[in-house]
Amino acid sequence: MEDKEIIAIKALDYVTDNSMIGLGTGSTANFFIKHLANKIKNERLNIQVVASSTVSEIEAQRNKLNLIGIDTLETLDLYVDGADEITNDLNVLKGRGYDLVKEKILAQSAKKFIIIADHSKRVNRIGENYPIPIEVLKSTWRLSKKILDKFGQGSLRKNAAGDAYAISSAGNYIFDYSFDEMPLRDLHEKILSSPGVIETGIFYAITDCALIVDNGHIEILSK
C-alpha cells in the first residue's frame, strides 16, 4: 500500500459517529474519501459529508456518501485534507486543486482540522517548493496583478489542458506567485489585503494536527 493511502486510513481514527465531515481535495484526500465510505458502510455510521471542490464532490457521490451542499453548512466536526507543503509548526500551503476559498473556509470552520501528507510535503519554509496560490476576482484580475507585482512575481494559472485559465468552483481565477522572503504571517496578511484577492493558499496557524507518513512510519504533529 502506498504512503498516501496509509495516512488516509490513519485519519479514520478521528472519525466519530453522528458527525459532519469535510472532504479535502487531491490524491491523498481521495484515499480518505474511499476508506471513510468503507468505514461508514461496515460500522453503519451516521455521517454526513461536505465537499471542498467539484473533484471531492464527484468522489463523494461515486462512493455513495451522504453529501450535503456547502451552502447549507452551519457546523463542521472534522475537516481532513492533503497539503502541498507543511512546516514543523503546522503552517501549510495548499491550492494545487484551485479551490482555495472553499478549502480554507472548511478548514477554519471545523472543530478539528487534520492534514494528511507524505514526507515529501515537509519543508522548512512555506514557498520552498511551490509558488503561493492566490484566488482572485476574475473581472479585476489585471488590477490585482498590478498590486501584487509591487511585492512579488507571478501569473495566472492555466488549466490542466493548458488551453485556458484555471477557474475555481467559485468562479475565480488563480495566480501563482513568488515573493521576497518575509515573515509568513506578514506575507499572508499583505496578500489578503490586496484588493480583488479572495484567498491565499497559505493556511497560517489553523491546522490542529498533521499526520505525516514516511515509508509506512507515521508521525503525528499536534498544536
Q: How many residues bind ligand 5RP (CB under 6 A)?
A: 15
Which range touches ligand 5RP (CB under 6 A), out of 27-35, 38-46, 157-165, 208-216? 27-35
With both helix axes pointing from N to C terminus, report the angle between 3-10 and 27-43 in degrees, rounded to the nearest 10.
50
| Beta strand pairing call for 76-81 and 85-86 | unpaired
Q: How far apart are CA 44 and CA 53, in angstroms?
A: 26
Active-site residue (options: 103, 135, 181, 219):
103
Strand partners, 219: 212
In the region spanning residues 51 to 80, those forming contacts with ligand 5RP, defined by CB under 6 A, are none
Closest approach, Cβ 131 to ligand 5RP, in A, equals: 13
81: contact with ligand 5RP by CB under 6 A? yes
Of residues 83-102, those binding ligand 5RP (CB under 6 A)? 83-84, 94-97
Which cell numbers in the block locate residue 82? 492533503
List 8, 15, 26, 157, residue binding ligand 5RP (CB under 6 A): 26
- Is 103 an annotated catalytic residue? yes
Compose the 102-121 pattern: x for residues touching ligand 5RP by CB under 6 A, - for all others: -x------------------
- 127 contributes a contact to ligand 5RP by CB under 6 A: no
Cβ proximity to ligand 5RP: between 29 and 212 the closer is 29
Q: Give catalytic residue positions.
A: 103
**Site of interaction with ligand 5RP (CB under 6 A):** 24-29, 81-84, 94-97, 103
